[in-house]
Amino acid sequence: MPFEGVHRVGHVGIWVKDIEKSLDWYRNVVGLKLTGLWGEPYRKDRQCFVRCEDWHHDIVFFEINKEIDRTTLDSSDTGKRHTPGVHHIAFEIPAREDWLNALEHCKKSGIPFVSGPYVHGHEAKYVEGDDTLGFVGGSGSHAFYITDPDGNRLEFYTWMMKVTKECVAAPNPDF
């Protein structure tokens, strides 16, 4: 049985060479709004959330780490490739029950998770060395990540926040 309740592609993550350059371009050409740009001490590699309207993010920029040892990169998962292009494609499952059933289906079927499941937000438990947990800039969504047959990382999430005012997950947003 396939997942039920998959509503839409909710956001995409892309690898970028220069995060300020990408932010500037998407703001000035496409008219997207900044939610937050995060790096140290919250994340080792920089990450930037931008949005069209009020959902926390519609695109996420992941800055390519130019220092990384490229011979050790895992090419079976776009989320680990550090090359320009897709990082992940995220599907929204609005109902928590459907999201939990999809998660359970993956567990029972032995579909491997490349990341998660976890709560992608400030309210989650922080684990030293794992910047995917308890990330202060996260949208509060519950998410898990698998790959398609070509290694494209797919995220399935529920409960993303909206940005209507300043808060810890959107400290200095464009409005």
Q: Interface residues with Fe ion (CB under 5 A)?
A: 90, 155
Cα angle value 64/70/75 (rounded, 5°): 85
Tell me, what amino acid is at 42? Y
Residue 14 CB, shortest distance to Fe ion, in Å, is: 11
**10 or 173: CB nearest Fe ion:** 10
**64 or 115: CB nearest Fe ion:** 115
Instruction: Please name the residues in contact with 36: beta carbons below 8 A apart, sequence gap of 6 or more.
Output: 48, 49, 137, 169, 170, 171, 172, 173
**64 or 145: CB nearest Fe ion:** 145
Residue 11 CB, shortest distance to Fe ion, in Å, is: 6
**65 or 132: CB nearest Fe ion:** 132
Residue 60 CB, shortest distance to Fe ion, in Å, is: 6
DSSP string over 5-64: ---EEEEEEEEES-HHHHHHHIIIII--EEEEEE-TTT-SS-EEEEESSSBS-SEEEEE-
Residue nearest Fe ion (C-beta atom): 90
Residue 71 CB, shortest distance to Fe ion, in Å, is: 27
